[in-house]
Amino acid sequence: MAEFALHCFPQSGNAYKVALFLSLAGADWAPIVVDYFGGETRTSKWRETVNEMGEVPVLEHQGQKLSQSGIILDYLSEHFGVFGRKTPEKKREIWRWVLFDNHKFTSYFATHRWLRSFAVPLGHPEVLAFLRNRADGALAIVEKHLTGRSFLVGEGPTIADVSLLGYLYFPVAETGYDLSASHPQIYAWTRRAAALPGWRPPYQLLTGLPTERLAQG
Amino acid sequence: MAEFALHCFPQSGNAYKVALFLSLAGADWAPIVVDYFGGETRTSKWRETVNEMGEVPVLEHQGQKLSQSGIILDYLSEHFGVFGRKTPEKKREIWRWVLFDNHKFTSYFATHRWLRSFAVPLGHPEVLAFLRNRADGALAIVEKHLTGRSFLVGEGPTIADVSLLGYLYFPVAETGYDLSASHPQIYAWTRRAAALPGWRPPYQLLTGLPTERLAQG
C-alpha cells in the first residue's frame, strides 16, 4: 500500500494540485478515483466517511484525512521539506498567493471551465461571461506579478506555484484559454514548471492507473 | 498612531473579518478608508504602493503590509495568542475552514451580495441565481457541521469562525439572506459570536471614524 492515498477524479484541478506536488516530490502515492459524475461525493456515506465538504482532494496519510488543497500542500511541503520557504515573511507570502488562488482565481477559472465543458446542462452564457471576466482579472494580476520573476515567491517553485498552476495544465479545449497568445509571462511560467523533474499533465496523474513513478518504485 | 492600520472600506466583508478580529482582541488599531467606489484600489499608484492584488484588507504592522484576510487572521492569531488552536491537527482544521470560506463561500456569497446591492449595473438574474445556488451549497455544509457544535473547530471561537462569519453580519437587505428563517444552526452561531466581548457590526467598525475602543484608549 502506498504511503499517501489521494481521493480524486481526473477532471479535478484541485486534486491535480496535490497529485502534482506528490509527483514532483517523488512521493509514494496512489490515487483513489471517486465516481464524481455518478454522484459518489454527494452521497451521505461519502460525506460521513471521507469529507463532509463533499469535495476532492482528500489526502490520507498516517491515519489522517486532509481536505482543501491549500492546507494539504502546506502539510506536504512541511513533510517533505520542499517547495516552501524558511522565513515567516516568505511563508506568509506563499499563503497570500495560495489564498488568492482559492478566492480569486480557481473559484472562477475552474468553475468557468466546468460550466463550459462538463456541466449538465452547460452554463448560461451570462454566467460564463461573468466567470471569465473574473478569471481574466485574476490572470492579469498574476501576469504582472510574474514580469521579471521566474516563480511567484522568491527563487524557485513553491506550493503557491503548484496551487495557481494546477488548472492551467488542462487542455485549451476545456478551459477556453490559450495562454500562449494572451499571457506570455504566465505561459512561460507554465513551461518552466513543466520542465521540473516529476512533472506530469493532469490526465496522466489522475487516471487511477499506477503512475510511472510507482511502477519504477 | 495606532499599532495596526487597516486599509478597508465599510462595505468590504473581507476587511470586516480583520477588523472584527482586532476589535475582539482589543487591539490598538485604526482604519484607513480607501475610496473604493471612486476607483482608488484600481489605480496604478495604489497597486504599486499598497497591494498589487488591488484588494482590501491590507494590514500594516511593524513595517509590513499583509494582504488576504486568511493569512492576516493567522498572523494576528499568532501575535495575540487568541482564536487559534495548539495542535497541528487543529491548526490544519482551522485552515481547512478558512480555505473553504475563501474558495466555496465568500467567493460566491459576497459576490452575490455585491451584484445584487452595489454593482453598477447590478448583476444579471442568471448570474445572481448561479451565485446564490453556490452560496446555498456552502451554507448547507456549514449548517450541518454546526449541528451539535458551538463553533467550527473545537471549543470556543477561532479565526475560522471569524472568517466564515464576516459576511453574515451585513444587513439582510444587502445579502438577501435571512438566516434566522432558513439556517437555524448558523443563525444561533452568529448570535453566539455576536455576544463575545468586543464584537461590533460591520458599519460600526469600518466607518473610518474612531472606534469606541480607540476612544476609550
Q: What is the pLDDT of residues A179-196, one digit of tens each?
A: 999 999 999 999 999 999
The whole-number pLDDT of residue B216 equals: 38
- Grid cell digits, residue B2: 495606532
**pLDDT above 70 as % of chain A:** 95
CB of A185 closer than 8 Å to CB of A161:
no
CB contact under 8 A, A108 and B107: yes
CB of B10 closer than 8 Å to CB of B56:
no
The whole-number pLDDT of residue A1 equals: 86
With a cut of 50, which residues of chain B have pLDDT below it?
A: 210-217
Q: Using alpha carbons only, what angle is made at residue A43 by residues A37 and A47, rounded to the nearest 5 degrees?
A: 110
CB of B21 closer than 8 Å to CB of B76:
yes
Cβ neighbours for A189, distance < 8 A, ≥ 6 positions apart: A146, A150, A151, A161, A165
**ipTM (interface predicted TM):** 0.94
Picking from B95, B163, B185 by the largest number of A CB atoms within 10 A of its own CB, the best residue to mutate is B95
Q: Using alpha carbons only, what angle is made at residue A64 by residues A34 and A207, rounded to the nearest 5 degrees?
A: 25
The whole-number pLDDT of residue B208 equals: 54
Mean pLDDT, rounded, for A75-88: 97
CB contact under 8 A, A103 and B68: yes
Mean pLDDT, rounded, for A148-168: 97
pLDDT tops 90 at residue A147: yes
Q: How many helices (H) and strands (E) does chain A have?
A: 12, 4
Q: For A28-93, give the DSSP string.
A: -EEEEE--TTTTGGGSHHHHHHT-TT--S-EEEETTEEEESHHHHHHHHHHHHT-S--SSHHHHHH
Mean pLDDT, rounded, for A24-34: 97
Collapsing DSSP states into helix, strand and coil, what is residue A130?
helix
With 0-12 CB in 10 A as exposed, 13-18 as middle and 19+ as buried, what is B188? middle
User: Over chain A, what is the mean pLDDT?
Assistant: 95
Tell me whether B42 touches chain A (CB under 8 Å): no
Residue of chain B whose alpha carbon sits nearest to that of A14: B103
- Grid cell digits, residue A125: 452564457
Tell me whether A43 touches chain B (CB under 8 Å): no
The whole-number pLDDT of residue A208 equals: 54
Tell me whether B74 touches chain A (CB under 8 Å): yes
Which chain A residues are Cβ-neighbours of B69 within 8 angstroms?
A: 99
The whole-number pLDDT of residue A217 equals: 32
**pLDDT above 90 as % of chain A:** 94
The whole-number pLDDT of residue B62 equals: 97
pLDDT tops 70 at residue A212: no
The whole-number pLDDT of residue A216 equals: 38
Mean pLDDT, rounded, for A77-86: 98
